[in-house]
Amino acid sequence: MNELIKVDHLHKSYDQNTVLRDINLTINKGEVVVIIGPSGCGKSTFLRCLNGLETIDSGHIEVCGHEVNTTSKEIYKIRQKVGMVFQSYDLFPHKTVIENIILAPLKVQKRNRADAEKEAIELLAKVGLSDKKDYYPRQLSGGQKQRVAIVRALIMHPDVLLFDEVTAALDPEMVHEVLQTMLELAKNGSTMLIVTHEMAFARAVADRIVFFDKGDIVEETGDVKAFFDAPKTERAKNFLKTFTYD
Ligand SMILES: Nc1ncnc2c1ncn2[C@@H]1O[C@H](COP(=O)(O)OP(=O)(O)OP(=O)(O)O)[C@@H](O)[C@H]1O
Ligand SMILES: [Mg+2]
């Protein structure tokens, strides 16, 4: 199946506040789509809608051919297909790195421990954390914890990965290592939907840019370079002006 995520006419509000207005977006297998936009424009809400963490007012969301409907039991299946990494990594503090990583494979996917541990160790090596498997989260830097959170998503073999500002809470010197990990995933063909405020990274990683503002998709383009060099809309121009490039 080529279309992994298909969103049609999605509307979402909190009480009187319309947060997402008629959103239409399709994400194909192997694509890296980056969502950018001002604070409060609905980016996180949109990502949460995609794996059924929010109810929607109207419209349709399909993930891997399944309708996302928070009242349906199917949602548990869908969530296994969608890996999500947030700004706060939410690792269990009383569990070691490897225990954090293999928890869901053992409990949710009923995999055997030796198998899950073996894969966890391989994935930790890929993100440069081979020596940290028996550490506790408190013994890790923010960037290391975030890479563990990425491994925790990857070990579930999701069809698509959602990232919501995963570097926003990190010290500047930690940002690079996490973005590097995501660039590697993109290079290896992962399907990814990324919300970020790191414009240089967005430009480097994106196959397509989606610019949100006030709950609308204002601009969407596969010509990533053109978007950053000369956005078509005033709203995107004004947004990009607020960033300086190094
Ligand atoms: N649980 C909630 N209840 C009520 N309003 C909410 C809730 N979650 C988000 N909102 C509102 O929805 C709007 C969109 O929020 P959202 O978190 O999706 O923005 P965002 O684009 O991710 O912003 P940021 O870049 O700051 O993370 C905001 O106006 C916010 O106040
Ligand atoms: Mg957000």
Taking CA atoms only, the protein residue closest to ligand 1 atom 26 is 39
Q: Are 178 and 170 in contact (CB under 8 A)?
A: yes
Measured from the Cα of 212, ligand 1's closest atom is: 21
- List the residue whose alpha carbon is closest to atom 12 of ligand 1: 19
Sign of the alpha-carbon dihedral angle for 188, 169, 210, 159: positive
Q: Is 242 exposed, middle or buried (0-12, 13-18, 19+ CB in 10 A)?
A: exposed
Rounded to two decimals, the pTM is: 0.94
Ion ligand 2 neighbours, Cβ < 5 Å? 44
- Rounded to whole angstroms, the Cα distance separating 73 from 68 reads 10
CA of 134 to the centre of ligand 1 (A): 36
The C-alpha atoms of residue 78 and residue 172 are separated, in whole angstroms, by 34
Site to probe by mutation for ligand 1, drawn from 13, 14, 196 as the one with most ligand atoms within 8 Å of Cβ, is: 14
pLDDT tens for the chain, 246 residues long, are: 699 999 999 999 999 899 999 999 999 999 999 999 999 999 999 999 998 999 999 999 999 988 997 677 778 888 889 999 998 888 999 999 999 999 999 999 999 999 999 999 999 999 999 999 999 999 999 999 999 999 999 999 999 999 999 998 888 888 999 999 999 999 999 999 999 999 999 999 999 999 999 999 999 999 999 999 999 999 999 999 988 654
Q: Give the distance (Å) from ligand 1 centre to CA of residue 40.
A: 5
CATH superfamily name and code, 12-89+160-240: P-loop containing nucleotide triphosphate hydrolases (3.40.50.300)
Ligand 1: residues with CB < 6 A are: 14, 19, 39-45
Contact (CB, 8 A) for 64 and 70: no
Please report the atom of ligand 1 found closest to the CA of residue 45. Answer: 18
pLDDT given for residue 79 in this prediction: 85
Question: What is the DSSP track for 165-229?
Answer: STTTTS-HHHHHHHHHHHHHHHHTT--EEEE-S-HHHHHHH-SEEEEEETTEEEEEES-HHHHHH
Kind and range of the H or E element at 50? helix 43-50
**Alpha-carbon gap, residue 24 to 60, rounded angstroms:** 9
